[in-house]
Structure 1
Amino acid sequence: MNITCKNCHQTFKGHYCSNCGQTAETHKLNLHYLWHDIQHGLLHFDSGIFYTAKELFTRPGHSIREFIEGKRIKHFKPISLIMVLATTYIASIHILHIDLFAKTNETVIPDSHIDMEQFREWLFSHFAWINLLSIPLHTVGTAICFRNQGYNFIEYFVLNTYKAAQKLYVSILFLPLLYHYSGTPTVEILSKILLIIDFVLYFWTNEQFFNQLSKTKTFFLTLLTHFIFWILIIAIASLGVVIVEWYLN
């Protein structure tokens, strides 16, 4: 039985494409796919990290849609990419002794008994996992706002994982500026600029990915997605503070 490769469109027989080497079976993205990615993706890195970076900053939405539809051989696996970039970023922060907060005389977080220095250390030491765990929150908003577009929750999760990778790539590029303005009020301004860049990239990716929707509709749905995300973040952070306060008392 002849098979058409989803990556290069070559017709072939067997388990692998004779032209590019992609497997004949490209399963639908679901929990089984993510589990396989977690098991094997973190241990088998390849040159796809450079190809994926180029795609995410030239044609992000189109390339992510193609990945979901089966064109995957050149791409770096999404969860692996996040872990590599997050680790690279936070290692650089530690090595360069970059302080991402403006220095103040406050030793505790206002309206709480939480030590600010310990809180910062906790953020830095868990940065990779915080980034990974924030992706489902973005995915909730995406699944709500862009429902009925023909994708399941895991496919939206992959979409948002690559969006998070975009943000980390940009954050790594900002490291020289963050180093120069470490611990000053300017470093917090740079953090706000990164948030704006993140939203622009987020919208651009959505505009390409959901290319059947108008740009205006995509913009407002992207804005609503961010609103849902921050509501969830505030709710979880508030719950976390309550739990820590209870523990300390």
Structure 2
Amino acid sequence: MNTTSKCLNCSQAVSGNFCSNCGQNTSMHRITFMHFITHDFLHGLFHLEKGMLFTAKESLTRPGKAAIDYIEGKRIRYYNVFYFILILIGINLFLGNYYDQLAEIYLGESSEKMNNALGQKIDDFFTNYAKILIFSFVPLFGINSFFLFRKRNFNFSEHIIIAGITFLGILLITTFGRLISFLDFTQNFDIISNIINGITGLAIFIFPIFSYYQTFKDYYKKMPFTFRILLFTLLILIELTAFLLVTVGFFSQWGFVNGSKIEL
């Protein structure tokens, strides 16, 4: 192992263990198979999992405080929240598709395609753009909280961080529920799936309240906070309803305006 006086990555003069310009380690070693396995691969894998597990734990148990820590600069222990969200969206889409396939095999439930042109277009749209549509919840959360929770003087980008960590917690709960739902294909434990699904639905509804309460509890009394979080939830529902109406209107060429019947 050699320690260089000049960074081999950017040629910046260095005096410590890391380059002050690009951050590369100044202690270089020749790449061997054993060192690759024991250091580069396992070391990198361990730190990746450690960061993800820590971020998952913080997002579930103290989302509001985790968001504040992140905003205030305590970020080194956190895995990138938005990368994590995209990973979980992919996992949930995979699990949902796999569940449908198993349901068709073991339960005789066929995921029938919509049997009209409009329904097929809408179904294809939501299938093709599922990741983008699910991820769009983050800016929706951020916009609503930016206008409703102003006392803490967070800017819009900081509200996006709060929304991201909150939504990450929701996705973690959703992923757990999806995994448990595979108990539907067992004879003796399917009732557990039904119970967990009910608990999961309630937890998803409560979790944003828990997260935003942790974040803003020192700035709002209970009644003002309750009013704002209820309005926050109502705005999300209104925005989602408006989006669905616009989507149906777009693919139907606004046929419902003329009184045409749309079959979904």
Instruction: Check whether TM > 0.5.
Output: yes
State the Cα distance separating 1:132 from its structure 2 match. 1.1
What do the CA deviations read for 1:83-120 (whole angstroms, capped 9, x no partner)? 01111111122233367xxx7999659xx96326x645
Equivalent residue for 2:224? Answer: 217
Aligned letter for 1:198? I
- 1:201 pairs with one of 186, 207, 210: 207
8 Å Cα contact 2:114/2:123 also seen in 1 = no
8 Å Cα contact 2:95/2:179 also seen in 1 = no
Equivalent residue for 1:138? Answer: 141
State the Cα distance separating 1:121 from its structure 2 match. 5.4
Unaligned runs of 5+ in 2: 1-15, 24-46, 104-108, 186-192, 256-261
Write the distance in 1 (CA, Å) between the matches of 2:118 and 2:132.
Answer: 21
Write the distance in 2 (CA, Å) between the matches of 1:54 and 1:216.
Answer: 29
Aligned letter for 1:210? F
Write the distance in 2 (CA, Å) between the matches of 1:45 and 1:223.
Answer: 37
Write the distance in 1 (CA, Å) between the matches of 2:97 and 2:110.
Answer: 20
Write the distance in 2 (CA, Å) between the matches of 1:137 and 1:188.
Answer: 30
SS at match of 2:182: helix
Aligned letter for 2:222? K
Q: If you compute each CA radius of gyration, which structure gives the higher value, 1 or 2?
A: 2
Write the distance in 1 (CA, Å) between the matches of 2:102 and 2:196.
Answer: 13
SS at match of 2:118: coil
* TM, length-normalised to structure 1: 0.67
The alignment status of 1:74 with 2:77, answered yes or no, reads yes
Equivalent residue for 1:84? Answer: 87
Q: Which has the higher contact order (CA 8 A, sep 6+)?
A: 1
The alignment status of 1:236 with 2:243, answered yes or no, reads yes
* TM, length-normalised to structure 2: 0.64
Measured at CA, do residues 98 and 45 of structure 1 come closer, stay the same or move farther in structure 2, by a change above 3 Å? farther
SS at match of 2:244: helix
State the Cα distance separating 1:247 from its structure 2 match. 8.5
Measured at CA, do residues 209 and 120 of structure 1 come closer, stay the same or move farther in structure 2, by a change above 3 Å? same
Write the distance in 2 (CA, Å) between the matches of 1:201 and 1:98.
Answer: 30
State the Cα distance separating 1:168 from its structure 2 match. 0.9
Measured at CA, do residues 195 and 107 of structure 1 come closer, stay the same or move farther in structure 2, by a change above 3 Å? same
- Measured on the aligned residues, the alpha-carbon RMSD in Å equals 3.8
8 Å Cα contact 1:87/1:128 also seen in 2 = yes
Write the distance in 2 (CA, Å) between the matches of 1:70 and 1:105.
Answer: 47
Measured at CA, do residues 191 and 128 of structure 1 come closer, stay the same or move farther in structure 2, by a change above 3 Å? farther
State the Cα distance separating 1:45 from its structure 2 match. 5.6
SS at match of 1:114: helix
Q: How many residues align?
A: 202
State the Cα distance separating 1:219 from its structure 2 match. 2.7
Write the distance in 2 (CA, Å) between the matches of 1:120 and 1:85.
Answer: 21
Write the distance in 1 (CA, Å) between the matches of 2:194 and 2:252.
Answer: 26
State the Cα distance separating 1:123 from its structure 2 match. 3.1
What do the CA deviations read for 1:112-148 (whole angstroms, capped 9, x no partner)? 96326x6455434433221211221222211121123
Equivalent residue for 1:147? Answer: 150
Unaligned runs of 5+ in 1: 1-13, 22-43
